[in-house]
Homo-oligomer: A and B are copies of this chain.
Amino acid sequence: MDIVVVGSVALDTIHTPHAVGRDLLGGSAAYFALAAATLSSVGVVAVVGEDFPSEHLRLLDGHGIDLEGLERRPGASFRWEGEYGASLKERRSLRTELGVFADFHPRLPARYRDAGVLFLANIHPDLQREVLASAGKPKLIAVDTMDFWIRGALASLRAVIARVDLLLVNDEEAALLTGHSALPEAVAAIRAMGPGIVVVKKGPHGVVALGPWGWLALPALPVEDVRDPTGAGDSFAGGLLGSLAGRDWHDRDAVASALAVATATASCAVEGSGVSALALLSRTGLRERCRRLREMTRFELPGE
């Protein structure tokens, strides 16, 4: 197994100007795993309730995703309901029911401990620390977080950040975490907290990353018809680590290629409702999107 992801698997009800999707397969670990599975083998550590539809499990299984770490518990699955505004830029949560996720304590099956990559999706930093305490020796530990934990569990979060190789944030989180509103300063300050690589997801504005080799940056692929932005960040992370698995994260070219794959994966994820577009992404489709990204960004130096 290349990658283990620890996060949520949920039932999402999503309102967009286009449609309402009810009890869709959702959660950070589901988006991440489907995205990463295009290029690597993935195991999921999460919990669902008795009510979780078997068709969702079959979809994950059908993509070769290992579900030994996915606990099924008495009770209701984590449910989230949200609504997007007309521009699909703002969203508000209508309902969050934690269900069995409320008592979730992630447990890694024995054979997950040899995975080369460990991804701690956006869950309480205390749970992320529990996983770090029980994990083996992955070559790359990556973590995602959100403003909620920066505001509410900063000490625990900083303990996590100090121990990981790669941190994913968005630009607002980077400012919140460091007090620097200028992104280059904020990113440098986060890197000084521990992670070798800091990756800032800027949604439609692309990605910026700082690592031992310096800065990397790519624009987003223009998406002419965004259907549902849910899970774009987790899909980005899945593409990134799916591409990095088996490679050395100290290698600039490996990370640059992984950022391109991540960008391509996220552009696909938002084109369908829930995981629908992501679930159809093939290696060929991914490569084609990366080719478009390169065609968009390729330039000759002046005087060449």
Residues in A lying within 8 Å of B, measured CB to CB:
39, 86-89, 181-185, 187-188, 202, 204-206, 208, 214-220, 222-224, 226, 243, 253, 256-257, 259-261, 283, 286-287, 290-291, 294-304
Residues of B with C-beta under 8 A to A243: 302
Can you spell out 18 A-B residue pairs with CB atoms less than 8 angstroms apart? A182-B224, A183-B222, A205-B205, A206-B206, A208-B219, A216-B296, A217-B219, A217-B222, A217-B297, A218-B219, A243-B302, A256-B300, A257-B300, A257-B301, A260-B299, A261-B302, A290-B299, A294-B301
Residues of B with C-beta under 8 A to A261: 302
A182-B88, A205-B202, A215-B296 given as contacts; is B301 within 8 A of A287 (CB)?
Answer: yes
Kindly identify which residue among B181, B215, B290, B299 contacts A218, using a CB–CB cutoff of 8 Å: B299
A206-B219, A215-B296, A224-B185 given as contacts; is B302 within 8 A of A287 (CB)?
Answer: yes
B217 touches A296 (CB 8 A): yes
Number of copies: 2
Residues of B with C-beta under 8 A to A217: 206, 219-220, 222, 296-297
For residue A224, which residue of chain B has the nearest CB?
B184
A87-B181, A300-B253 given as contacts; is B219 within 8 A of A219 (CB)?
Answer: yes
A294 to B253, CA, bound (A): 13
A286 touches B257 (CB 8 A): no
B185 touches A259 (CB 8 A): no
Question: 10 tightest A-B contacts by CB?
Answer: A217-B219, A205-B205, A87-B181, A256-B299, A184-B222, A260-B299, A184-B224, A257-B300, A217-B296, A297-B297
Of the candidates A220, A256, A299, the one having the most CB atoms from chain B within 10 angstroms of its own CB is A299
Residues of B with C-beta under 8 A to A296: 214-217
A208 touches B222 (CB 8 A): yes
Residues of B with C-beta under 8 A to A215: 222, 296
B302 touches A39 (CB 8 A): yes
Kindly identify which residue among B39, B214, B259, B304 contacts A299, using a CB–CB cutoff of 8 Å: B259
